[in-house]
Amino acid sequence: MDIQIAEYVRFITLALIPFMLAITVHEYSHGLSAYMLGDDTAKRAGRLTLNPLSHIDPLGILFLLVTRLFGWAKPVPVNFGRLEKNSKYGPAIVSFAGPFSNLLLAIISAVVLHFVSNIEVARGSVAMKILVPVVGMLSLSVRINIALFVFNLLPIPPLDGGRIVQSLLPYNQAVAFSKIERYGFIILIVLFLTRTIDAIIIPIIRFFLQILL
């Protein structure tokens, strides 16, 4: 039991920074893409920032502590009706910007991880004591960002994938599809409890991890 607790504490210690960076960049990317397309709602709300304190959702962090893989931040406010520069595909662009930023972070983390892993240092040296946790954080950064990338693209509103699908559907179908959002969180909880979500996304996550790691 003590070993399990120690491993869990080690995981939390190493995962916290990569997770905070992942959700911060994710939400910032939503806000920035919306701003570039004409909507300054996120900026006026003080959310167009890379300060993680502006994006933290305690429940999202708690979910990370439980699942050791998934979590979320407070959604950045976006007024899709103000996306004047691309009113047709703007919502899809803004929605995809978040998951895409996680994919980029995963790739960058993987590149840095491969570089750092090839550095030769003496066993027990100060450099070794620094590199070991850095390697652990980079590895977790790849895993967390890929998990967020895949999870958020599930076609279930209010996830980004659901908003992408909704924005690409004809108006009547989009209105009908949007009604699912009120049940979205319940659907996700059921998928997690029945482990259905594992069967859906874990193979996809493993596919990306095999390429990057």
| Amino acid identity, position 87 | S
Distance CA 95, CA 34 (A): 9
Distance CA 50, CA 42 (A): 12
Q: Are 48 and 33 in contact (CB under 8 A)?
A: no
Distance CA 123, CA 101 (A): 36
Distance CA 77, CA 139 (A): 31
Residues belonging to the chain: 213
The distance in angstroms from the start CA to the end CA of the chain is 30
**Enclosing H/E stretch for 193:** helix 184-193
Token pair belonging to 145: 């960002």
Q: Which one of 27, 84, 120, 181 is the catalytic residue? A: 27
Cα 173 to the chain's mean position, in Å?
28
Tell me if residue 27 is catalytic.
yes
Packing angle of the helix pair 160-168, 90-117 (nearest 10 deg): 140
Active-site positions read 27
